[in-house]
Amino acid sequence: MTPALIDTDSAAVESRPALAVSRFAPLRRPSGWVAAVVAVAFAAWVLFLADGTPAGPAVDDPGRFMVTVLDGVTFAGLLFVAASGFTLIFGLMRTVNMVHGSLFLLAAYIAIRVQETMVGRSRNIVPADVGVLDWVVPLLVGAGVAAVLGLLVQQVFLQWNEGQEMRQTMVTLAITVVLADQMLREFGGLARRMVWPGAATHFLSIAGERYPTTRLFMLALAVLVGVLLWLWLTRTSVGMIIRAGVDDRQMVRGLGINIRRVFALTFLAGSFLAGVGGVMGASFAGAAPGTDGSWLLNALIVVIIGGLGSLRGAAAGSLLYGTVVAFSPAYLPSQYSYYAIIMTFGLLALVLAVRPYGLFGRPA
């Protein structure tokens, strides 16, 4: 049983996992009901009942509601980019790549340096100073460095112990500890940030609420990444080999295909995606020591919700997680809004209690 990277056949998703685990999964069948009840209760609360919350019922303040929805979807875009590389690598190679967060942060730091050099200033940079190239070039440099470093990690430390999940996890964890320390030495402890290009920075009015186009730009980038990934995996021969490798590694090998080269390519792509996520994340929320850990965690949460190794799961997980992140501070009763961050994880516990392998995952 292996998770499919692209679930082309949804019927297969429904039937296959049930076979193996049905004996331990008496809760599996009512999962649809549970989800429906939760969704209806959630909608009713947000639409009509949410008196005494910071945002108020959506019928009273539709602008606030729409902004919250947009916040959730746009943040989900960033989450998707950050998680897609992680799930890609896991899907093919079964490696829980703990270095993902470090690559995310490293790309961010490097891109910030490149941008500062290109703009010629290290602080008080405003979007108007930043041309499109001043953002895209740092993005490519940062993500490129992350990709090369990721490939290096895979070639040196992960290639020869393929199949030993725990050992690989610990090796990458140790590398993460070293990288975090070395980044602190190289880039210092202060928070830095990347600046969005001026061309992407405008403000809209949505039902009377101010809304930035940078968040929509972020979402558009995420959609672009998702589409390109999908095309790569479904329309190119390499992509097809990757998908075949996900389903049956031995068979691919038997066909005379050099699977090691495919692994290397996957790691390169996954690390590049981590880097792209890092540069977007640094533009959205800055970068500092600790950002690596929190984004590794974000990526983990997304793929746990969605199911490890499934690209579609990553998209669904991002959307769900982004929605909860946006809605819980706004629609919890005011005196409980401090507990919003716990809600995020409550979602996770709920999903896993109902589907132990995530929405689109299968037993590993």
Partner 1 sequence: MKLAFACLVFGLALLPAVATPFFVNFVMTQTLILGLAAATIVFLAKYGGMISLAQLLMVGIAGFMYGNAALDGGARGLNLGWHPWAAAGFAILVTTLVAFVLGAIASRSTGIYFLMLTLVYGVIGYFVFAQIVEISGPGGITSIQRPELLGPPVLLYYAGLLLSVAAYAGFRALGRTAFGLALQGVRDDPVRMASLGFNVPLHRALAFALAGFVAGLAGLLNVWWNGQIDPASISIGPTLILLIIAVIGGISSLKGAWLGAFVYVLVLTYLRDLPLVDRIGLTEARFNTVIGVIVLMIMVLSPEGLTGIVHKIRKQFGETRP
Partner 2 sequence: MRRSKVLTLFMALALTAGCGGGGNASSGLPADQKQPASSGSSTGNGIRLGILGQCEGPFGGFHEDVVAGTTLALARFAGASPSSKTSALEGFSGAKVAGTPIELVGIGCGDDTADRIVQEVRRLVEQLGANVIIGPLSGDEGIAIAEYAKAHPDLTVLAGISGSQEQTLHVRAPNYFRFYGDGAIWNAGLGDLLHNKEGWETVAVIADDYSFGHTSAAGFIADFCAVGGKVTHRVFPPLGTTDYSSYIAQLPNPDEVDGYFWAVGGTGTQAALEAFVNGKGDLTGKQHAGNLFFNPDLAQALGTDIAGAYVGGFATLPSDVRTPEIEEYLAAADKTWESIPGALSGNKPAKPSVAAAFGFFYGYYTAGVALAEALEAVGGDITDVPAFHKAIAGLTLDLPYGDIKLDANRSGIVDVGLSRLVNESGKVVQQTVAIVPGVDQTFGGTFSPDTPSPGRDSPACAKRDLPWAGKAITVVNGVPQR
Interface pattern 73-112 for partner 1 (x via CB under 8 A) = ---------------------x-x----------------
Beta bridge partners of 150: none
**In Å, what is the CA distance from 255 to each residue of 1, 252, 308?**
20, 5, 26
Q: Which residue matches tokens 């699977």? A: 259
CB of 164 to partner 2, least distance (A): 22
| Residue among 6, 25, 238, 285 that touches partner 1 (CB under 8 A) | 25
- Report the residue number, 64 or 94, with the smaller CB distance to partner 1: 94
The site partner of 155 among partner 2, partner 1, none (C-beta below 5 to 8 Å per kind) is none
- DSSP, residue by residue, 248-281: -HHHHHHTT--HHHHHHHHHHHHHHHHHHHHHHH
SS3 345: helix
Using CB under 8 A, which of 83, 114, 175, 218 touches partner 1? 175
Per-residue contact flags (x/-) with partner 1 for residues 258 to 297, judged by CB under 8 A: -----------------------------------x---x
The secondary structure element, H or E, covering residue 50 is: none
Dihedral of the alpha carbons of 258, 264, 266, 267, in degrees to the nearest 10: 160
126 makes contact with partner 2 (CB under 8 A):
yes
- Which of 64, 63, 81 shows the shortest CA–CA distance to 228? 81
CB of 331 vs partner 1, minimal distance in Å: 17
| Selected binder of partner 1 within 21, 118, 206, 223 (CB under 8 A) | 21
CA 19, CA 42: separation in Å to the nearest integer? 31
The residue type of 346 is G
- In the complex, the smallest distance separating the C-beta of residue 74 from partner 2, rounded to whole angstroms, is 9
The span of 66-74, 160-168, 235-243, 353-361 binding partner 2 (CB under 8 A) equals 66-74
The binding track of 213-252 with respect to partner 2, each residue x by CB under 8 A or -, is -xx-------------------------------------
3-class secondary structure, 143: helix
**From partner 2, partner 1, none, interface partner of 177 (C-beta below 5 to 8 A by class):** partner 1
Query: Does 34 interact with partner 1 (rule: CB under 8 A)?
Result: no
29: exposed, middle or buried (Cβ count in 10 Å: 0-12, 13-18, 19+): exposed
Comparison of 222 and 304: residue with beta carbon closer to partner 1: 304
- For 276, the token pair is 């792209």
Distance of closest approach, residue 319 Cβ to partner 1, in angstroms: 18
Phi, psi of 113 (to 5 degrees): -60, -45
Please, which of residues 185-204 interact with partner 2 by CB under 8 A?
185-193, 203
Cβ–Cβ < 8 Å for 94, 165: yes
- Angle made by CA atoms 171, 363, 147, in degrees to the nearest 5: 40
Return the CA Rg of the chain: 21
Binding site for partner 2 (CB under 8 A): 54-55, 64, 67-68, 71, 75, 121-126, 181, 184-193, 203, 209-212, 214-215, 281, 284-291, 294, 298, 325-330, 337-338, 340-341
